[in-house]
Amino acid sequence: MRAALALLERDPRAPLTVARIAAEVDAAPAALYRHFVHVDELLDAVLAAVLGAVALDVRPQASWPTQVREWMTAVRDHLLRHPAVLPLIGRHGRTSPAWLDAVSTLIAILERAGLTGAGLARAHLWIAETTVGIAMLEASLPLPEQIANARASIAQMSPHGRERIAALVPHLARLDGDALFAFVADRTIDALAAMVEAR
């Protein structure tokens, strides 16, 4: 586990494989199976180590809107520190138990807000998918690179598209990933408050 986490720290964008983990501990890949019955068990343990602190980052005494913001921020931050675990959340037709544990914290927050049934199901899925989706985009192409790529591509655009995008680029350049994510979290909480009030 420590070796896998060390690999994630050292080279977060490289795929986490049994062969790389085994090489890190000077062992044959087959030797890892003495400790983990299946590769999914090892990968779930790695994801659990990364996401295990999410619940700790949510203050139990805080209001539910603050807890939602803290959950979203904690998940994004943990995933961006270890982007190689993003594919581990849902892989090979299964969802990681570690991810489901992290999501159960979100569900408890939403229940505390008063959501139940279909509303609770929609809200938790929307927040979880939005948070992970943004983290995936940021991990694959950080916002400054997205903006630089947009600037570089403007010349190849249609005149109509070029005019619209060129007008936004100076404003986009002043944004950062944290500010953009805070905006998303705020809009999410506003929409949840409306859902709770409509109940």
Whether residue 5 has pLDDT greater than 70: yes
Q: Does the pLDDT of residue 73 top 70, yes or no?
A: yes
| Tens-digit pLDDT profile for residues 93-135 | 678 888 888 999 999 999 999 999 999 999 999 999 999 999 9
Q: What is the pLDDT of residue 92?
A: 64
For Cα atoms 49, 134, 160, give the angle at the middle one, nearest 5 degrees: 160
Please, are residues 101 and 48 in contact by the beta-carbon 8 Å criterion? Answer: yes
Give one DSSP letter per residue of 19-58, joined into a string: HHHHHHTT--GGGGGGT-SSHHHHHHHHHHHHHTTTGGGS
Q: What mean pLDDT is reported for the chain?
A: 88
Higher pLDDT, 68 or 139: 68
Of 198 and 109, which is predicted with more confidence? 109
High-pLDDT (> 70) share of the chain, %:
99
Q: What percent of the chain has pLDDT over 90?
A: 40
pLDDT digits (tens, 9 = 90+) for 180-190: 899 999 999 99
User: Is the CB of residue 150 less than 8 Å from the CB of residue 140?
Assistant: no
pLDDT given for residue 86 in this prediction? 84
Q: Where are the domains of the chain?
A: 2-198
Lowest pLDDT segment from 70-84, 118-132, 148-162: 148-162
CATH of span 2-198: 1.10.357.10
What's the average model confidence in pLDDT over 160-180? 84
